[in-house]
Amino acid sequence: MARWVLHVDLDQFIAAVEVLRRPELRGRPVVVGGDGDPTKRGVVSTGSYEARACGVHSGQPLRTAARRCPDTVFLPVDRDLYEDVSAQVMATLRGFGVVVEVLGWDEAFLAVDGDPEALARQIRDRVRAATGLECTVGIGENKLQAKLATGFGKPAGIFRLTGETWFEVLGDRPADALWGVGAKTAKRLEGLGIGTVGELAAADPDVLARHFGPTIGPWLVLLAQGRDNSPVSDAPHVPRSRGRETTYQHDLDDWADVRREVARLARRVAHDAAGDGRDVGRVIVKVRYAPFFTRTHGRTLEAPATGADRAGVDRIGADRIVEAALAALDGFNERRPVRLLGVRAEFAR
DNA sequence: TCTGGGGTCCTAGGACCC
DNA sequence: TCTGGGGTCCTAGGACCC
């Protein structure tokens, strides 16, 4: 077992990649999100630090960002480009000959020995040399500590957080500073008189189990204590599901349109699943109605289907996936305007 | 702040079986 | 007959993360 975990996190990754190919944007507020049109429905994927300085943040509606920061350059999301650059970054990290666990486009854990600060500096240098991008490195005795350390090192820094310094750094912070505690859980904890990381660390696991369930309750306490024994793993990620969803610029009022769109999404999902070489066991349809509440209904296939349009004695797999999606759609009774439709395929086995 | 799109994991409740 | 308790599976929803 390696002594240290490093968490490498690219700084403003998506915005930085866009600035790399348009150097004239350096130093300007840049927001990447949706199709790049801030008058449409969509949210900020990433804003440059200049955009953040005027109150723009990830997840914010593009409209709001445009209002907050009128001279912002808005750009559409270009997933293929980010995937390519991400692959370069991860290859650079693997070049250190250590176990690398990828955590999305712009983050990875590394299990390392030796002088972690020295290694962190080398990582920053090599990532910069290979890609022109800046990153921050968090150092910890486990993944949780390393992940939280990164937040204190941003931008382009290095920060070490250990069991020894954990409470000094985090004890008085709100519980949602933890990785895995969001606004909802923080609010519920507040109701139990638990506001800070320190208070959560001192809480009774049995009491939390009663409120949050037998797994999450006790886990929350360990989280607040900075304890985590999950290994850094480079085992290839095996996807559990594959989905497609769309928010419509104008709500769909006509259920015939809804059916047609669900069939279209299901066909895309079937195609994606076939591309992954996976069999589909269950299909789930998601409907978000205009007042922004979401419902899901699913259908389990009688036998797993491939999404491939291959001829056979049986019906073609893609048709069965589409049919399952339409059957799941029949589970929705409310016929009010629809804002978003999604179809997700869960893989068999 | 009129709130994307891609995922993962956990929980609660009902069905069903012995 | 008017009614237990436990285990397991399935489904919908919730919460979180990038």
Last residue within a domain, chosen from A59, A78, A97: A78
Q: Give yes or no: residues A286 and A252 share one domain.
A: yes
Residue A84: CB partners within 8 Å, gap ≥ 6? none
Residue A178, nucleotide of least CA–C1' distance = C16
CA of A60, C1' of B4: distance in angstroms: 10
Task: Say how far apart CA A293 and CA A45 lie, in whole Å.
Answer: 22
Q: Which of A53, A78, A103 is the last residue of a domain?
A: A78
Domain match, A74 and A99 both? no
Q: How far is the CA of A209 from the C1' of C7 (A)?
A: 21
CB A196 within 8 A of CB A172: yes
Does residue A253 share a domain with residue A216? no
> Residue A53 burial (CB < 10 Å; 0-12/13-18/19+)?
exposed
- Residue A133: inside a domain, yes or no? yes
CATH of the domain at A30: 3.40.1170.60
* Domain assignment of residue A233, yes or no: no
> Is residue A231 domain-resident?
no
Structure tokens, A212: 């949050």
Residues of A marked as catalytic: 107
Residue A316 is predicted with a pLDDT of 78
Under 8 Å CB-to-CB from A106, ≥6 apart: which residues? A9, A10, A13, A14, A86, A89
- CA–CA separation, A206 and A133 (whole Å): 46
Nucleotides of C under 7 A from a protein CB: 10-18
CATH number of the domain at A111, please: 3.30.70.270
Ordered per-residue pLDDT tens for chain A, 349 residues: 799 999 999 999 999 999 999 999 999 999 999 999 999 999 999 999 999 999 999 999 999 999 999 999 999 999 999 999 999 999 999 999 999 999 999 999 999 999 999 999 999 999 999 999 999 999 999 999 999 999 999 999 999 999 999 999 999 999 999 999 999 999 999 999 999 999 999 999 999 999 998 889 999 999 999 999 999 999 999 999 999 999 999 999 999 999 999 999 999 999 999 999 999 999 999 999 999 999 999 999 988 988 776 554 456 789 999 999 999 999 998 899 999 999 999 998 7
pLDDT for res A313:
43
In a domain, A230, yes or no: no
A209 and A152 together in one domain: no
- Residue that terminates a domain, selected from A141, A161, A181: A161
Domain with A31 in it:
14-78
Give the Å distances, CA to CA, from A30 to A20, A21, A42, A176.
Answer: 12, 13, 15, 28
Which of helix, strand or coil describes residue A296? strand
The residues, any chain, with a CB within 8 Å of residue A207's CB and separated by 6 or more, are A192, A217
Neighbours of A127 (CB within 10 A): 20
User: Which residue is closest to C11 in terms of CA–C1' distance?
Assistant: A298
Say how far apart CA A312 and CA A207 lie, in whole Å: 57
Residue A105's nearest nucleotide, by CA–C1', is C18
User: What pLDDT is stored for residue A311 in this prediction?
Assistant: 53
Q: What's the whole-model pTM score?
A: 0.94
Does one domain contain both A40 and A98?
no
| Residue at A276 is within a domain | yes
Report the CATH number at residue A259: 3.30.1490.100
Of A290, A242, A289, residue with least CA distance to A266: A242
Query: Å from A98 (CA) to B14 (C1')?
Result: 48
Q: In this structure, are residues A96 and A138 in contact, taking their beta carbons and an 8 Å threshold?
A: no
Q: Position A299: which residue type?
A: R
In this structure, the answer to whether residues A8 and A126 fall within a common structural domain is: yes
Asked if residue A254 and residue A339 are part of one domain, the reply reads: yes
- In a domain, residue A138? The reply is yes
Count: domains in chain A: 4
Residues A248 and A336 both lie in one domain:
yes
Strand B neighbours (CB under 7 Å) are A 34, 41-43, 45, 58-61, 63-64, 212-217, 239-247, 272, 291-292, 339-340, 342, 344
Alpha helices in chain A (DSSP H): 13-21, 49-52, 62-68, 79-94, 116-131, 143-153, 166-170, 183-191, 197-201, 205-212, 216-224, 255-276, 317-329
A8 and A115 together in one domain: yes
Residues A40 and A130 in one domain: no
A212/A268 same-domain check? no
Tracing tokens 């840049």 back to the chain, one arrives at A30
